[in-house]
A and B are shown apart, each in its own frame.
Chain A
Amino acid sequence: MLTAVVTRGATGFDVAFVPQADGGAGDMTYEESLDFCEFPFEEAEFADQYEATGYPCEEGPSPILPEAKELLWGGGSFVVFLVLMRFFLYPKLRKGMDARYAKVEDGLEQADAARAAARAEVTEYEAALATVRAEAAERVDAARATLAGERETRLAEVNAEIAAQREAAMAESRAAREAAEADVRSAVTDVTSKVLELAIGRAPAEQVDAAVADVMNSEVRS
């Protein structure tokens, strides 16, 4: 930093620019100035600059320029890290992860298979249930049909029996009547012939029989 010093000379005012260190570090030694500057850069490199400026922190390379040693250390450690990761650490980690994922996937697949099997079993069971149900329905139908048939035949049988019995009864009653008629006729014929015998003294003729039958037929029946 320059300081303009104005003095009164013989001809008026003189202006002189004198270099003066800033920060009062003008008459410090380099080592003393380090106390003011907490983190100075390389001491040897800028020691001669210090002689001019008196303050080692003030001047230096532009803060945005890369420094060779940092480039070297940073780049070196990155490259070492990258090589380690790329060829040793990551593949090992990845292998474990892949193995576990494969196992999990396997488990999932197994679970899927088990689920599919269970589903198949359920469908099978349902199919079996349906066939059994159909069979049962069939059997019930068949039983119902046989039952109906049996009832029908039984009914028919019973009807036939009833008819036969009725027939038989009618025949019996007819026979009984005929027998009774015959009895009555023979009795009447007997009586008539006896009466005639007593009356005329001889065995009745055939005409008596015919006449009785005639009367019987017309009288009794009416």
Chain B
Amino acid sequence: MLALEFPPLNEILRWRDLFPTFNKVAMIAVAAALIGSLIFLIAARQDGSKAPKGIRNFAEMLVEFVENQIIMPAMGRSGMGWTPFLLTLFIFIYLCNLPGIVPVLYMPATARMAIPLFLAVVVWLVYVGVGLKHQGLGYFGHMIAPPGVPAALYPLIGPIEILSNLIIRPFSLAVRLFANMLAGHILLVTFSLLTEELVFEGDNIVFRILGVLPFVMLILMTVFEVLVGFLQAYIFTILAAVYIGSSAHPEH
């Protein structure tokens, strides 16, 4: 009898501790930080005066990607000082997303709320801090009374601005990353379960042949997840850059 029983969500998301408090998600996060630092450690040790090769070339490509594709469109030339922060953010998120499609691991660390929430809070702290540093208390003043808006609309616009700047921004930043990765993870689990049930548990040749369909879909979704993992890291980083840039220069 064919029966597809989808496991409870906790079963595909929560992992047994490898040692107390250290589970797979924590392991992926630590590994992401380690791999990221290792790439840049090796790159920094190579001679920078010659034409870059191998890992150094890769690291410089990452730096230039962040500078040209994220900082330039979002903050302009004045935001170049934020390169290390945004670079770290991008690499960390990408390396946390990637295990979602890496065999054996098959778990994006960002599909748990903890890491996206932490990163969103860090970005929130940074852009509010930058706003306070560059504009003082005028940062909140600009929110309550945005320039270029008729005074009669202040009571309407002010609360919306405050809500959107201080609550919705970090919330949507965290939820966007988390929900994208969680949805991708659930999709992959669904199609692998379907394939497994049809091909290996099916008691009918028709089912076994039909099992190819979810398998093809699984491969397509895996390719799609590669794109989504990259895109979410990119979007998180560029939104962080946009928020920081808008705090530093309110006119933009």
What residue in chain B is nearest A70 (Cβ atoms)? B114
Give the contact-size bracket for chain B. Answer: 35 or more
Give A29-68 as 1s and 0s: 1 = Cβ < 8 Å from B's Cβ atoms: 0000000011111100000000000000111110111110
- Min distance, Cβ B73 to any Cβ of chain A, angstroms: 21
Q: CA A70 – CA B109 in complex, angstroms?
A: 9
Q: Quick one: which of B12, B25, B29 contacts A78, CB cutoff 8 A?
A: B29
User: Interface size on A (CB < 8 Å)?
Assistant: 44
Q: A57-B8, A77-B33, A99-B49 are in contact. Are A66 and B40 (CB under 8 A)?
A: no
Residue pair B10, A57 in contact (C-beta under 8 Å): yes
Q: How far is the CB of B91 from chain A (nearest CB, A)?
A: 8
| Residue ID in chain A nearest B121 by CB atoms | A75
Beta-carbon contact of B23 and A69 below 8 Å: yes
Where chain A touches its partner, the secondary structure class is helix
B11-A38 in contact (CB<8A): yes
User: Per-residue 0/1 for A75-86: is the Cβ within 8 Å of any B Cβ (1 yes, 0 no)?
Assistant: 101101110111
Task: Kindly state whether residue B113 has any CB partner on chain A within 8 Å.
Answer: yes
User: In whole angstroms, what is the CA distance A11 to B126 when docked?
Assistant: 73
Task: Tell me which residues across on chain B come within 8 A of A92, comparing CB atoms.
Answer: 44
B117 & A57 in contact (Cβ 8 Å cutoff): no
Bound-state CA distance A195–B140 (Å) is 164
Report whether B22 and A73 are in contact in the complex, using a CB–CB cutoff of 8 Å.
Answer: yes
Asked if B92 contacts A78 (CB within 8 A), the reply is yes
B17 touches A95 (CB 8 A): no
Residues of B within 8 A of A61 (CB): 10
Docked pose: A47 CA to B26 CA in angstroms: 23
Tell me, rounded to whole Å, the shortest Cβ–Cβ distance linking A55 to chain B.
9
Q: Chain A nearest CB: distance from B28 CB in Å?
A: 9
How far is A100 from B91 in the complex, measured between Cα atoms in Å?
Answer: 24
Instruction: State whether B17 touches A42 (Cβ < 8 A).
Output: yes
Question: Is B30 touching A86 in the complex (CB atoms < 8 A)?
Answer: no
A96 contacts partner chain B, Cβ-Cβ < 8 Å? yes
- Chain A residues in 8 Å Cβ range of B60: 93, 97
Distance (Å) between the CB of B95 and the closest chain A CB?
Answer: 10
Known: A39-B11, A60-B10, A69-B26. A93 touches B33 (CB 8 A): no
Q: Count A-B pairs with CB separation below 8 Å.
A: 155
Most chain A CB atoms below 10 A, which of B13, B14, B49 = B14
Segment of B80-88, B165-173, B217-225 in the binding face: B80-88
In the complex, the answer to whether B14 meets A97 with C-beta atoms within 8 Å is no
Nearest A residue to B28 via CB reads A74
Among residues of A, the one whose C-beta sits closest to the C-beta of B13 is A63
CA of A198 to CA of B45 in the docked complex: distance in angstroms?
A: 156
Please encode chain B, from 87 to 131, with 1 for each CB lying within 8 Å of some chain A CB and 0 for all others.
110011000100000000000010011110111001000000000
Tell yes or no: A125 within 8 A of B by CB: no
B14, A41: Cβ atoms closer than 8 Å: yes
Which A residues are closer than 8 A to B by beta carbons? Answer: 37-42, 57-61, 63-67, 69-75, 77-78, 80-82, 84-86, 88-97, 99-100, 103
Q: List 17 A-B contacts (CB under 8 A).
A: A39-B12, A39-B15, A41-B16, A58-B8, A60-B8, A64-B113, A66-B112, A71-B115, A73-B26, A74-B25, A74-B118, A78-B119, A81-B36, A86-B88, A89-B37, A93-B63, A96-B46
Residues of B participating in the A interface, judged by any CB pair closer than 8 Å: 7-17, 21-23, 25-26, 29-30, 32-34, 36-37, 40-41, 43-44, 46-52, 56, 59-60, 63, 83-85, 87-88, 91-92, 96, 109, 112-115, 117-119, 122, 178, 182
Other 19 A-B pairs with CB < 8 A, given A69-B26, A70-B112, A100-B49: A39-B15, A41-B16, A57-B8, A57-B11, A58-B8, A60-B8, A70-B26, A70-B115, A71-B117, A73-B22, A77-B29, A77-B30, A77-B34, A78-B122, A81-B37, A81-B88, A89-B37, A93-B48, A93-B59
